[in-house]
Amino acid sequence: MKRILFLCHGNICRSPMAEFVFKEMIRQRGLENEYYVESAAVSTEELGNPLYPPARRCLTGHDIPFDLRRTARQVRAGDYDRFDMIICMDHSNLNWLRRIIPSDPEGKVCIMMPIVGKSRDVADPWYTGDFEATYRDIVEVCTAMLDRDFPSIT
Which residues are annotated as catalytic? 8, 14, 124
> What is the chain's Cα-based Rg?
14
Residue 103: helix, strand or coil by DSSP? Answer: coil
The C-alpha atoms of residue 60 and residue 149 are separated, in whole angstroms, by: 27
Residues contacting 112, CB < 8 A, separation 6+: 6, 18, 87, 88, 89, 90, 121, 122, 137, 138, 141
Contact of 112 with 26, CB cutoff 8 Å: no
| Residue pair 113/121 in contact by the 8 Å Cβ criterion | yes
